[in-house]
Chains A and B, each alone.
Chain A
Amino acid sequence: MKRLGFMVGVLILAGCTENLATPGDCPELCPGQTLTVKDTTILANSGLDSAYFGYTPRAVPPALLVSSGLPAGEARTFVVFQPARFDSITVLDTLKELVIDTVNVEFTLLARDSTATGLKLYIHRVPVGLDSSATFAQLDPLLTPESLVDSIVVPDSVHTGLIQAQITNVTTIAKVLATVPNDSGRIGIAVRLSASKPTGVRLLATLSTGQPQIDILGKVAVTDTAKQRQKLTLVPEQTRTNFVLSREAAFDMDMLPVGGVDRARSLIRFTIPAVIKDSASLIKATLELTPVEPIYGLPADSAGSLLELQAITADLGGKSPVAQTVAAVEFRIPESAGSTISINIRSLVDQWRATNGPPPAVLIRFNPEGGSFMQPVFYSTRSLIGQPRLRIIYALPTHPGKP
């Protein structure tokens, strides 16, 4: 009895899995055809691809760029700090004189090219009137040896995080903190870069922990020894903290720019054939975009080279709302990409096929928008070459199950 019970148990457990596989070939053995796979290319709807800009204010960049010799362009960053009185400080409800002995100029490194060594950020004093309308041609001539106050050496082992110049020299401190009477105690600085080879860095911008700041440390004359050491922190003015690029892609309505200083987004529309929309099994859908010129960026900066392709819920041109229920397709643009790039947007195309699904259009934006060296511009349907197109590989139904 026990043996029989054991056998029953074994057989029931064995029944939990099965392997039905047999080698075969079609059509010799199959009761039906193998799936018919088709490969077709669809051009974007002619004249209906558009570029829009101004989605985020230029005055609030998501990152600050500094470069030296980078093919993507020369970049300089400037920071104007909010008005502050730093010769005195309130301690125990009494204004006391602050005898400054140390000044720290701090930035947060977001990205760098780890293959470039000997990075050094030079800090210059610049006028406080700079804002988002400043140009490279205006700022760069101001970065002279006379305006140089100090530098930040970025160790080769540091790829992200806090970097700072600690200034203890009295003369240098005075130079850093020197103010002009009509500037309301504001300080403006600009940053340029040198390294062992052409490279750049991205620094954290304003409105987040780790934004540029100046820490002023010193002593006050109080009896409480715990309060003798004091610190003042200067924080940047949001609209006067930005960067300038020597090479800005011009916004061309006949092309499809994405990102860049104009924060451009492009909308490309397609018409999906009925056979694909109704009955095909979608295998792969690749959007092919051809850049007008090589897309230069910061080497090894994966976070600064992201294209986001999104479905929209309704086609309202530049104000088309993004379909929140459809996950965006992300694509990292290879550094110096000069040939056609192919992006698998099968998940978006699959949604286009759904009943009451989003319209067959893809909205392309850059991330970080306005905070990257990359300024991709692609050919449009109005171009003679490199028009955007969609390559779809799909399978047609065969209705298997012949007897």
Chain B
Amino acid sequence: MRQLLVVLAALAGVPGLLLGQSSQFGVRGLGLPIRPISPRALATGGAFSFFDVESSFNPASIGGVTTFTSLFTTSQNFRHSENPFGTSSGRDARFPLMFAAGPVGGTNLAVSVSVSGYTDRSFALGSRDSITLGGSRMAVFDTLSSKGGLSDLRGAVAWRATSSLTFGLGLHVITGTNRITNRRVFGDSTFVTATETSDLSYLGLGADLGVMLRVGSKLALSGLARTDGHLNIDRDSTRIGATDLPNTFGFGARFQPSPRLGLAAYGVRKGWSAADPDIKDQGGIAALDSYDVGAGVELVRNPKQPASRPLRFGVRYATLPFPVVAGKQAHEFGLSAGTGVRFTAGRGGIDVAVEQIWRSDGGTFSERATVITLGLSIRP
């Protein structure tokens, strides 16, 4: 418990870093949704996230933790974007999840704290134009950039009701800031660059319930329900509005036909359309319900050391809630793979996941991204 508090204090100091990946599909709405899951779960397309003790997705999943566990992740995103205005390649680095969990001695309880990305709204849009000043045309170069997004600070507790049934409860504080800078550079160097900056800050609360049921020795099922209430939005310390956040429902299934093979699949629905009126009132395009499905496999080389260099593969498809063009809901499709090692008698471990993601709105906006995520887990 003391270790948990120390980790919690450390995590509270760096919420601004906990974001996902930048994307042109994160320009609108609240940004690009982030999945608070470990590299192990990412490598399987997210399929194992319902059961993974190092993911901050299903509060029931921490019921399986047997010793204090902490996880720090970092990801590198390489991206190539295309839209009607051109193409570009970019990259960014993020720290999408910090997580700590441990059992409560003498009870069937386990607790965890985590800080993860909720949405990422980091982007920079560049365009060029010309304007008339003093009767003559002058080239201008506009950049609208945004850094920040929403983070999800979660405290969770899981109760192992029986050897095959676990319940979990999570409480969430959704917070974050978004610094948006509007900059216009002029072709004439005697003109000073015009800059305008707005700081948006957010605060909301949420809660979720999870359940995990083991059916026999090979099958496990899991379910999740989450509500996130509404999000208050301040611009430069002045309240400018609120946005309803989605209710989330999801399920997952894991099948383990042998000690060397694990299979999993999941499906999640997020009711982002609840935010649609608020988003439109605030000048946005729309907010649409989103769906997320995936499946994955984990091949264990040594059943006695299942975390030592396993092979993980996954596939995933999801729709994105905030269209960049009215009437066109974007989607993403991803293939992933990964592995991991354990060292110092299993006290430390590194997991890596590589995702190849294709995003498109079915029209002229598309994107290809490669995301490499590393996770360092410590079990002192």
Q: List the interface of chain A (C-beta within 8 A of B).
A: 1, 4, 7-8, 11-12, 14-26, 28-32, 34-35, 37, 39, 281-284, 344, 346, 391, 393-395, 397-403
Chain B residues near A393: list those with CB within 8 A: 133, 191
B227 sits at the interface (CB 8 A):
no
Q: Which of B104-112, B180-188, B207-215, B255-263 contacts A (4 or more CB under 8 A)?
A: B180-188
Number of interface residues of B (CB under 8 A): 70
**Nearest Cβ on chain A to B222's Cβ, whole angstroms:** 30
Q: A18-B91, A24-B144, A393-B191 are in contact. Are A37 and B324 (CB under 8 A)?
A: no
Residues of A within 8 A of B86 (CB): 23
Query: Does the CB pair A35–B92 fall under 8 Å?
Result: no
- In the bound complex, CA of A23 to CA of B123 (Å): 10
Residues of A contacting B305 with CB < 8 Å?
none
Report how far A32 CA is from B181 CA in the complex, Å: 10
**A15 touching B85 by the CB < 8 A rule?**
no
Q: A20-B90, A23-B88 are in contact. List 8 more A-B contacts (CB 8 A).
A: A23-B81, A25-B125, A29-B24, A32-B283, A37-B131, A281-B196, A284-B192, A403-B322
With a cutoff of 8 Å between Cβ atoms, the chain B residues found around residue A30 in the complex are 27, 125, 144
- In the complex, what distance in Å separates the CA atom of A224 from the CA atom of B279? 103
B binding-site residues for A, Cβ under 8 Å: 22, 24, 27-30, 74, 76, 81, 83-94, 122-127, 129, 131, 133-134, 140, 142-147, 178, 180-184, 186, 190-196, 198, 200, 235, 243, 279, 282-284, 322, 324-325, 341, 343, 350, 352, 372, 374, 376
Docked CA distance A24–B146 (Å): 13
Q: How far is the CB of A220 from chain B (nearest CB, A)?
A: 65
Given A18-B92, A32-B182, A37-B131, A344:B142 Cβ within 8 A: no
Chain A residue numbers with a CB within 8 Å of B89 are 19
**Nearest opposing residue in chain A for B181, CB measure:** A400
Q: Please give me the residue from chain A that is nearest to B85 by CB atom.
A: A23
Inter-chain CA distance A39–B198, complex, in Å, is: 24
A35 and B93 contact, Cβ closer than 8 Å, known pairs A11-B74, A23-B127: no
> A residues within 8 A CB of B282?
402-403
Q: Which residue of A lies closest to B343 (CB)?
A: A1
Known: A283-B192, A284-B191. A23 touches B83 (CB 8 A): yes
Q: Are A8 and B350 in touch, CB under 8 angstroms?
A: yes
A-B contact pairs, 25 of them (CB 8 A): A4-B350, A4-B352, A7-B374, A8-B74, A8-B374, A11-B93, A11-B372, A22-B125, A23-B85, A23-B127, A24-B125, A25-B85, A26-B127, A31-B146, A31-B284, A32-B144, A34-B129, A34-B182, A35-B184, A37-B131, A391-B134, A400-B196, A400-B198, A403-B29, A403-B243
Kindly list chain A residues whose C-beta atoms are within 8 Å of the C-beta of B88. Answer: 21-23
Q: Which of A15, A21, A394, A395 contacts B76 (CB 8 A)?
A: A15
Residues of the B chain whose Cβ atoms lie less than 8 Å from the Cβ of A29: 24, 27, 83, 85, 125, 324
